[in-house]
Amino acid sequence: MNTSYSSLLVMLVLLLSALLIGLGERPLYKIQEVRIAETAREMVASGDWLVPRYNGQLRLQKPPLPYWLTAASYRLFGVNETATRLPAVLFGLLSAFLLTCWSAPRLGVRAATNAGLVLAISFIGLRYFRSGEADAMLLFFTAAACFVGYDLLERGGDVRRRMLFGLLLGLGFLSKGPAALAIPLLTLLSWSLLQRRGAGVRQFLQSCFSLPGLAVLFLLAFGWYAWILATLPDAAQYFIGRQVNETFVSGTHAKPLWWYPQHFFEFFAPWGVLLLPAGWWAYRQRGPGGVPPVVRFAWLWLAVVFVLLTLTVNKQMQYALLFAPPLALILGHYLVAAGGGFVRFNRISFGLFCLAALAAMGYLVFKNGRAALEFLPWLALLALPLLLHRLLRARALSFPVLLVAVASAALYLYGEANLSKEPHKIAAKTLSAQLPPPPAPLYQDRSIKGEAGDGALSFYAGRVIPPVAVEELPALLEQQGEIWLITEQPPSLEGIGIELVASVDELKLCRLRRAP
């Protein structure tokens, strides 16, 4: 077998195992994942795929592509946790193999396969490629736009390739908004300026854009928004304006400027520790013929992402995933090209990480006992890529890098299986088995998850459970005589009888009736 194809096969086996083992075992509880899951479920249930709703309320803050793809997954595989996460798995695989195949002719097969593993098998990669959130989609379209744009700048292209560039930008914007435009365009413009100086702007515009490409970009990126503004002008302006304010002005997750460097090594474990020696090695190789143009482009790309994310008021872990493609290119090349003391540092780092992974897994066995041991047979699948590497003689894939990737995947999956069983994470799913059947009027206390309520309750109930404020309950009882309420703290209301029917961790199911 050709060594390149054998290396890709080993990669595929590892990534499929790492991304699919236990995919549907975790219940939905993380707010970003729940929002997409429940909005998509309501699309399928109502048949209205154009106007997203979450717990029955309009949800226009975010672009609709993640809802559409998740809803399509539900139509194919049913409404469940696995189907919620399959789009992210798909885009994670596509991103890893796109990066590998694009960089192979520019950096060599070994550096390219290193880069693919670094991209997919890290803490942050496994976290978001196994979750039903929009970040894996955003990453793919952003990276693909950067790759196509780089080729257009370096080698030119016909109208179809420039249309492809516009298509990727538009789909990226439809995935999660402005970052999909800002990162590729600023990176490519900066690269063109560095390469061609005064002629850089003209070269960038002429090489990357055409009228058909711009038409595709604007139609995909803004067509749905234009329709929403024409159909629901007041609501659209409110929701979109609030999202802009929360992201760029007031910030609901405001963090200090140094927040990303502070967490970088943690997010990109185990590879993040290599960035500093890779930077020092690249500095020593500066000058003509030192660092390949693609790697210099990756350093510029990394800098653009850092500046944009640092200047944004909101700072969250999922945004840091945008560092992954340039970081993977840089480290993939560094692990092949660096020699001397850098190789010794890498070996020591890899050895220490593998020992730490074994120690951590041993601790989980000690802490969780039989439950932890029952998951071990699943991890045996992760040994298959190591065996295939030997059987197929996939020399183009670095065995030490593969070993660290396998250890990383095993540690992540083992930790996820044994550390994600806290009662509050499964409360919504457990309580759903005790809810009254329709048409019993069922509501949830708005204070559980804020104004829009907890979408996990509606997801597992299979129907919208509208959020209400406590002060609205008397009026509802006047209209209906009896209602059911999910709350964390049963209310105390004069003239209303409250019966506690079920309790699951912090969630309480109560039946409210007017006192005789």
In sequence order, what DSSP letters do the residues of 372-403 get, joined into one string? HHHHHHHHGGGGHHHHHHHHTT-TTS-HHHHH
Q: Say what the pLDDT of residue 244 is.
A: 62
| pLDDT (average), residues 455-474 | 94
Question: Do 6 and 108 meet the contact criterion of CB atoms below 8 Å apart?
Answer: no
| Cα 84 from chain centre | 12
Residue 15 has pLDDT above 80, yes or no: yes
Q: Quick check: bond before 64 cis, omega within 30?
A: no
| Percentage of the chain lying above the pLDDT 70 cut | 95
Q: Say what the pLDDT of residue 2 is.
A: 53
| DSSP state at residue 130 | T
Q: Which of 80, 304, 87 is nearest to 175 (CA)?
A: 87
Distance CA 376, CA 411 (A): 11
pLDDT digits 0-9 by tens, 148-161: 999 999 988 789 99
Distance CA 43, CA 463 (A): 12
Residue 499 has pLDDT above 80, yes or no: yes
Residue 414 has pLDDT above 90, yes or no: no
Task: Count how many residues are written for the chain.
Answer: 516
Taking phi over 0 as left and psi of -120 to 50 as alpha, with beta for the rest, 505 belongs to: left
Q: Which of 406, 399, 362, 418 is nearest to 381 (CA)?
A: 406
- What are the phi and psi torsion angles at 493 (to 5°)? -125, 130
Residue 247 has pLDDT above 70, yes or no: no
Distance CA 462, CA 478 (A): 26
Q: What is the CA radius of gyration of the chain?
A: 25
Instruction: Give the residue, 234 or 183, on which the prediction is more confident.
Output: 183
Q: Rounded mean pLDDT of the chain?
A: 91
Q: Which of 117, 139, 116 is nearest to 128 (CA)?
A: 139
pLDDT digits 0-9 by tens, 223-241: 999 999 888 887 767 676 6
| Whole-number Cα distances in Å, 279 to 52, 253, 283, 297 | 44, 30, 6, 14
| pLDDT (average), residues 119-146 | 97
In sequence order, what DSSP letters do the residues of 93-143 get, joined into one string? HHHHHHHHHHHHHHH-HHHHHHHHHHHHSSHHHHHHHTSSSSHHHHHHHHH
pLDDT digits 0-9 by tens, 21-63: 999 999 999 999 999 999 999 999 999 999 999 999 999 888 9
| pLDDT (average), residues 103-132 | 96
The overall longest dimension of the chain from CA atoms, in Å, is: 89
Question: Do 282 and 291 meet the contact criterion of CB atoms below 8 Å apart?
Answer: yes
What the block records as the tokens of 312 is: 């944004």
* Alpha helices (H) in 232-323, listed in sequence order: 233-244, 259-267, 275-284, 293-311, 317-320
